[in-house]
Each structure stands twice: as C-alpha cells, then as structure tokens.
C-alpha cells in the first residue's frame, strides 16, 4: 500500500509535531498524548513502504521515551544531564525530524509547488522550499559517492584515527565544495523552470484533499487541541 497525502496535509502534520513534541513537558495528559502522536510518523512511513526507516524511528523513540521516564530520575549529577540531553533529543526532536524526512522523501517538487500555488503562497516562499526538497537528497547522494571513493582508495576510519586531518581533507572539503555547487545548480534549475515568473503557472499535478488527508488532519488537530487545553 502506498499512501498519498496532499503536501498541505504533510505540512500541517509537521507543524503540529513542531509545536507538541518539542515541548519538554511529560506530565499529565502528555504522558499519553505524545506517545500516541509519535505513532503517526511510524504509520505514515509504513504505509509509504519505508519499513526500515519506520521501525528504526519507533525503536529510537521508545528507547528515548522510556529512558526519560525511568532512567533519568534514577541518576544524578553530570550523568543525569548527559542522559537527559540524549533522551530528550530522541523523544522531542526526532519525531519532528522524521516527519520532515517523510515530507521531503514522499513529495514531488511539482506537487509541492502546485499545492502552494493553490494557497496563493508567495514565490519568495515557494522557490527556496522547492530548492530545499532536492538539496538534502542530492547532498546525501554526494556524501555516499565521496564515501565510496574513499573506500576505493583505502581511506577509511582506521586511517582517520591515526590522522584525523585526513577525514576533514578527504571527506568534508569535497562535500562542502559540492554543497555550494548543488545550491547554485538547483536555484538555477528552479528559475529555468519558470518558478520566478510572476505570471500564473499551469500544472499537470493533481492535488487535493482526499479521505486520508481528512483523517490525518483530524487526528493531529485533535492532538493539538488536547495539548493546548490540558
């Protein structure tokens, strides 16, 4: 099964997660609300065929959430601070990050642009975000290509342990140069496709709210209402 949600629904889910999950309160209704909401990215990833990412996410969240409730109160001093930082990262920031990953990896640029134009969003917002949708996947591909090139030349972690400067020289410097070029190329490509044109653009992408969009919108808005009220 391959679930297709409207880009606006995905943005709504990401916005609600950024409000609810990043809050550090784990008392009262949040003990039940936040774990319940955290299941949504897992369900979305599974329904999109990304099972590996889904189970990796839910495992990391459960470990972080359990550590916050059980392990952190048992320790004291500097150890408590370290554990709290690690577990808070997994339970507060990771769900929003995974939701953003789902948004970027399951949304085509043309779908996103068409959805934003239906909302009459300014081109000043649409162009940077359309570039961002291709920027991070392209950077990940370049990083993997650099890693393969290093392995072919016998430059691995063992050599980096002996001389850490080689890790910076052979990995970070090429990646930084690629990032600059990728940003310029994607910006030029976006403008070449007419995203900077002030005239109304047509699109062959069909965007609109279906039953799954309504269902997930109701779920996240209900969670946001409970969070605000209680």
Q: What is the number of other CB atoms lying within 10 angstroms of the CB of residue 128?
A: 12
- 14 vs 206, residue with greater confidence: 14
pLDDT at 202: 66
Cβ atoms 80, 88 nearer than 8 A: no
Percent of the chain with pLDDT over 90: 8
Percent of the chain with pLDDT over 70: 84
Per-residue pLDDT tens for 104-151?
Answer: 888 887 788 888 888 888 777 777 777 777 777 778 788 888 878 777
Question: Which 8-state DSSP code applies to residue 195?
Answer: T
Q: What is the largest CA-CA distance in the chain?
A: 62
pTM: 0.76
For 87-114, what is the mean pLDDT?
84
Neighbour-count burial of 28, counting CB atoms closer than 10 A to its CB (0-12 exposed, 13-18 middle, 19+ buried): exposed
Per-residue pLDDT tens for 44-76?
Answer: 999 888 888 899 999 988 888 888 888 888 888
Per-residue pLDDT tens for 186-215?
Answer: 777 766 766 666 666 666 677 778 888 999
* Residue 21 CA: distances (Å) to CA of 1, 151, 166: 28, 39, 39
Round to whole Å and give the CA distance between 50 and 55.
9
Round to whole Å and give the CA distance between 139 and 116.
25
Closest CA to 118 of 3, 203, 198: 203
Q: Considering the chain, what is the average pLDDT of its residues?
A: 80
Cβ atoms 212, 5 nearer than 8 A: yes
Cβ atoms 6, 22 nearer than 8 A: no
Question: Which 8-state DSSP code applies to residue 72?
Answer: G
* Residue 201 CA: distances (Å) to CA of 109, 112, 113, 127, 228: 14, 13, 10, 13, 39
- 98 vs 140, residue with greater confidence: 98
Cβ atoms 169, 104 nearer than 8 A: no
Helices (H) and strands (E) in the chain, counts: 11, 0
Closest CA to 34 of 72, 3, 65, 80: 65
Categorize the per-residue pLDDT at 156 as very low, low, confident or very high, splitting at 50, 70 and 90: low
pLDDT at 194: 64
Cβ atoms 91, 136 nearer than 8 A: no
pLDDT at 42: 92
Categorize the per-residue pLDDT at 218 as very low, low, confident or very high, splitting at 50, 70 and 90: very high
Handedness of CA 29, 32, 37, 38 (dihedral sign): positive
pLDDT at 29: 79
Give residues with Cβ within 8 angstroms of 2, minimum separation 6: 47, 48, 49
């Amino acid at each position: 099964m391959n679930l297709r949600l409207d880009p606006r629904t995905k943005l709504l889910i990401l916005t609600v997660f950024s409000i609810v999950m990043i809050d550090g309160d784990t008392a009262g209704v949040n003990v039940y609300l936040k774990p319940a909401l955290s299941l949504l990215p897992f369900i979305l990833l599974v329904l999109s065929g990304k099972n590996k990412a889904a189970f990796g996410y839910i495992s990391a969240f459960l470990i972080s959430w359990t550590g916050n409730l059980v392990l952190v109160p048992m320790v004291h001093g500097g150890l408590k601070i370290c554990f709290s930082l690690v577990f808070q990262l997994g339970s507060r920031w990771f769900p929003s990050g995974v939701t953003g990953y789902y948004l970027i990896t399951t949304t085509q640029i043309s779908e996103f642009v068409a959805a934003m134009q239906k909302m009459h969003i300014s081109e000043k917002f649409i162009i940077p975000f359309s570039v961002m949708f291709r920027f991070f996947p392209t950077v990940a591909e370049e990083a993997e290509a650099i890693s393969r090139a290093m392995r072919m030349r016998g430059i691995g972690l063992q050599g980096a342990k002996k001389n850490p400067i080689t890790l910076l020289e052979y990995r970070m410097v090429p990646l930084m140069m690629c990032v600059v070029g990728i940003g310029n190329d994607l910006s030029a490509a976006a403008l070449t496709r007419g995203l900077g044109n002030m005239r109304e653009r047509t699109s062959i992408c069909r965007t609109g709210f279906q039953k799954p969009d309504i269902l997930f919108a109701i779920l996240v808005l209900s969670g946001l209402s409970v969070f605000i009220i209680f």
